[in-house]
Structure formats: C-alpha cells, structure tokens
A and B are shown apart, each in its own frame.
Chain A
C-alpha cells in the first residue's frame, strides 16, 4: 500500500514534469503556429475579394492584391497606413490589429481602432471590412468586400470556430457566401440597412427589400442570426469612415 505522502509527491512531480514539457513545446512551436494563423487571415481577406489563395501562395497574393491597410479611429479618421510593405502612418501595422480586443475596448467605452483593407484587383478597388460576431457555440468571423461606392457588396467570406457541421457551419460554404454579391448596405435614401440573413428571404421579401437580404441556412437559425448581427454591428462601426469618403 502506498502512503498518502507518496501519492501526493507522485502527483506533484508528475504535474510539474508535464507542465515543463508542454510549455517547452508550446514555445518551440509558437512561431510556426503564428505564421499559420496569419496566413489563414490573409486567405480569408483575399477570399472576400474573390481570390482563392492556398497556404503556399497566400503571402505572395496578399502582397500583390492588398495594396493598402488602414487603421481607423472611431470617428472615421485614418490613423494608420501601411502601404508597399512600409508603415507610413501610425505605430502598428493594421494587419496586426486584434479586432476582438478592439471591440472589447469599444464595449468598455475606451479608445479603439479598426482595420480596413484596400484591394486592387486589376485596377478595380475593393474595400474589405473584417467582421467578428457570435454564432451558436463560439465566435464567427468574416470579411465583407465593398466596391468603391461603399454600398455594393463585391464579395464575402465567413468562417466559424465550432458551429455544428452541416448546419451552422454551412455559413462558410460558397453557396451561402455568393448570395451576398451585389447586395447593398444602404437603401435608396442613403440610410444604413445592413444585410439581413432571413429564412426564405428570396420568397418573402419584395424585390426592393431583397437587395438587403439573403437566405438563411436551414437548421442554422442562430448562426444565421449571428451573421446578421455581426454585419449590422461591425459595419455600423465603419459608418463614420464611409460618410467621410462619400463627401470627398
């Protein structure tokens, strides 16, 4: 029979050993993992501009098509610019901005900044807005590309962390994403309407409303609503910026 003190010593030593091994490995593998995450982010930004990038060519394509990265203040002023691999304004490359942290700062009433990506696809300018929201089980995210009129959607990309496969997870399917192309986020009078994800949108909405609505995922109602809310709340943050652009 083992004594209690033996059991305690055994458990303590085991835990310390395991912790040491795990933290050493985590530190060793961190650079490679961080790079993967950055590449994934580039791919999802490019996907919104309808450019299919693989893990291998993502960095190259990103440098080629994303001609400018901006950081925006809550008032819609450009406070950071990254162009031609150089930081021209501000102190942090907008690509490095952690949207989640910024949205948290916003909810606490603190100063925050928002990233914006400008793509040049064969002479055509696209403005790509990153999105972050909540699905059923975890966070959902996406990128929405608007044309230079800051109204018409040129492309979209959605992703999720742990939505149900076959149901909520379908938001990352191309069939769902292509619905957004050509939709508008402002109505005729210039009022912000966002884009609603509704069950049976194509059947119940009038043609005028349909410009601001897409079909939801069947069986994925909460995730679909999450996409709606995500578009509404994230795009609202950019309204000041868009207003300023349209005056110019």
Chain B
C-alpha cells in the first residue's frame, strides 16, 4: 500500500504557486487576463491599491471555497456554482468598501462589480481550484491576486507620479520643477497610456526570461 507523504504547508511546490504568478505565470503580462480593470483604475495609486486588495481577497477565497466543495459540484452546473460564489464574494467586498472606504468605493464605481467578470477568477477556478486541494487553491488564488496587484501598483505609481505629480494623493513633485517649466503629463492619465506601460512591462519581462517567448 502506498503511503502518501504529507506535504508541508510551505513546501517548494506550494511556494511556487505564489511566486510563479508574480513573474513567469503573471495573470496580466503572461496569461493576459484582467487587462481592462488594470487600465481603468490605475490613474491613481489609492484606487489601484484597493482594487488589488479586493481582487486578492476574492480570488483567494473563491478558489478556496470552490476547491472545498469541488467533489460535490454537479458538473452540469459548475459554472453557475462558480459564478454564484464569486458574485457573493464580490458583493461582500463591495458592501465593505461602501461602509468603510466610501470615497474609494465611489471612484472604483463599476469596477468592483466587474471583478465578477474578471477573467482571472473564472480562469483560476476552472483551471486550478476544480482539480486541486483547498490549501493549494488558496495559495494559487493569493499568488494570482498578487501577480495582478503588483502590476496594478506599478502602473498606479508611474501614472500618478507623472500624470498628477502626486503619490497616494500627496504632492511629491517639488514645486521647483514646475517653476522650471515641468508639466504633468496629461496623456499618462488616459487608459491608452496604461496599455503602453503594460507593454513596456511585458517587454522588460520577456527580455529577462527568454523562456516566455514563443519559438515560432
């Protein structure tokens, strides 16, 4: 009889579940999922941060819940079950934001609701949580959420700094720069510029990890 060796909570394999999505399996730059919200909410750092946290919470817990009940889900209605779980979590997050960070919730407006349709979620549920144990799924959710988060924060940082001269709402560009003729870049606040920035991140990433480039 085969004795299954108990895997430690943070075995090398489990750690990979978190670190891979940060780089070689990043949801935005490699899987190219969740682009729309990444472009829409990153004009300022604060909404980007709240969006990032919200997404980490939703991916982690939807992965966990779906993985826990994966053996009982009738395959014919599995997408509906997944959607219900995701929608419930998103509504909870939305209600929490409305109650405790109202201003940010107003800025994010429709985008929190749109987490429901964020491709990262359904992608991870179908590809990972339906076939893996709860703990691994939870880690996978956190990993992918964080992978999404750091791109959002990087974009938010660059766009707020050069677009508005502030960070987290605080003025950081010295007044002396403006007196010398420096101007905030209006273009960088618009979504197309965010796409170009994502492109630059992808460029840097691929030139550092050639394994990501298609051979063909």
For B99, list chain A residues within 8 Å (CB).
29, 32-33, 36
Q: Would you give the 0/1 interface string for B56-88, flagging 1 where the beta carbon is closer than 8 Å to chain A?
A: 000000000000000011111100110010001
Check if A22 sits within 8 Å of B102, measured CB to CB. no
Check if B96 sits within 8 Å of A29, measured CB to CB. yes
Check if B81 sits within 8 Å of A40, measured CB to CB. no
Q: Is A247 engaged at the interface, CB distance under 8 Å to the other chain?
A: no
Say how far A228's CB is from chain B's closest CB, in angstroms: 25
Q: Is A25 engaged at the interface, CB distance under 8 Å to the other chain?
A: yes
Q: Which of A7, A21, A32, A162 contacts B88 (CB 8 A)?
A: A21
The complex places the Cα of A6 from the Cα of B71 at a distance, in Å, of 13
Say how far A59's CB is from chain B's closest CB, in angstroms: 14
For A162, list chain B residues within 8 Å (CB).
109-110
Check if B102 sits within 8 Å of A40, measured CB to CB. yes
For A10, list chain B residues within 8 Å (CB).
72-74, 77, 81
Q: Which residue of B lies closest to A2 (CB)?
A: B74
Check if A25 sits within 8 Å of B95, measured CB to CB. yes
Check if B77 sits within 8 Å of A11, measured CB to CB. yes
Check if B98 sits within 8 Å of A33, measured CB to CB. yes
Q: Is A204 engaged at the interface, CB distance under 8 Å to the other chain?
A: no
Say how far B174's CB is from chain A's closest CB, in angstroms: 24
Check if B102 sits within 8 Å of A25, measured CB to CB. no
The complex places the Cα of A11 from the Cα of B88 at a distance, in Å, of 14
The complex places the Cα of A26 from the Cα of B91 at a distance, in Å, of 10
Q: Is B103 engaged at the interface, CB distance under 8 Å to the other chain?
A: yes
The complex places the Cα of A32 from the Cα of B95 at a distance, in Å, of 10
Say how far B110's CB is from chain A's closest CB, in angstroms: 7
Q: Would you give the 0/1 interface string for A26-67, flagging 1 where the beta carbon is closer than 8 Å to chain B?
A: 100100110010011000000000000001000000000000
Check if B109 sits within 8 Å of A36, measured CB to CB. no
For A11, list chain B residues within 8 Å (CB).
77, 80-81
For A14, list chain B residues within 8 Å (CB).
81, 84
The complex places the Cα of A7 from the Cα of B190 at a distance, in Å, of 47
For B182, list chain A residues within 8 Å (CB).
none
Check if B95 sits within 8 Å of A33, measured CB to CB. yes
Number of A-B contacts (CB under 8 A): 49
Q: Is B170 engaged at the interface, CB distance under 8 Å to the other chain?
A: no
The complex places the Cα of A15 from the Cα of B87 at a distance, in Å, of 12
Interface size for chain B: under 10, 10 to 19, 20 to 34, or 35 or more residues? 20 to 34
Say how far B72's CB is from chain A's closest CB, in angstroms: 7
Check if A7 sits within 8 Å of B77, measured CB to CB. yes
Q: Which residue of A lies closest to B110 (CB)?
A: A162
Q: Which residue of A lies closest to B88 (CB)?
A: A18
Check if A6 sits within 8 Å of B74, measured CB to CB. yes
- Given that A10-B72, A18-B84, A22-B92 are known contacts, is A29 also in contact with B98, CB under 8 Å in the complex? yes
Check if B103 sits within 8 Å of A32, measured CB to CB. no
Say how far A223's CB is from chain B's closest CB, in angstroms: 16
Check if B74 sits within 8 Å of A7, measured CB to CB. yes
Q: Is B100 engaged at the interface, CB distance under 8 Å to the other chain?
A: yes
Check if A55 sits within 8 Å of B88, measured CB to CB. no
Q: Which of A2, A7, A55 contacts B103 (CB 8 A)?
A: A55
Within 8 A of A (CB), among B103-142: 103, 106, 109-110
Say how far A198's CB is from chain B's closest CB, in angstroms: 26
Q: Which of B76, B91, B92, B110 contacts A7 (CB 8 A)?
A: B76
Q: Which of A25, A33, A40 contacts B92 (CB 8 A)?
A: A25
The complex places the Cα of A18 from the Cα of B69 at a distance, in Å, of 14
Q: Which residue of B lies closest to A3 (CB)?
A: B74
Say how far A3's CB is from chain B's closest CB, in angstroms: 9
**18 more A-B residue pairs beyond the given contacts A15-B84, A25-B92, A36-B98, with a C-beta to C-beta distance below 8 A:** A2-B74, A2-B76, A6-B74, A10-B74, A10-B77, A11-B81, A14-B81, A21-B92, A22-B88, A22-B91, A26-B95, A29-B95, A29-B98, A32-B99, A33-B99, A162-B109, A162-B110, A166-B190
Q: Pick the 10 closest A-B CB pairs, nearest first.
A: A36-B102, A32-B99, A2-B74, A29-B99, A7-B74, A33-B99, A33-B98, A18-B88, A29-B95, A25-B95
Show 13 A/B contacts (Cβ-Cβ < 8 Å), sorted by A: A6-B74, A7-B76, A11-B80, A18-B88, A22-B88, A22-B92, A32-B100, A33-B95, A33-B98, A33-B102, A39-B102, A40-B102, A166-B190
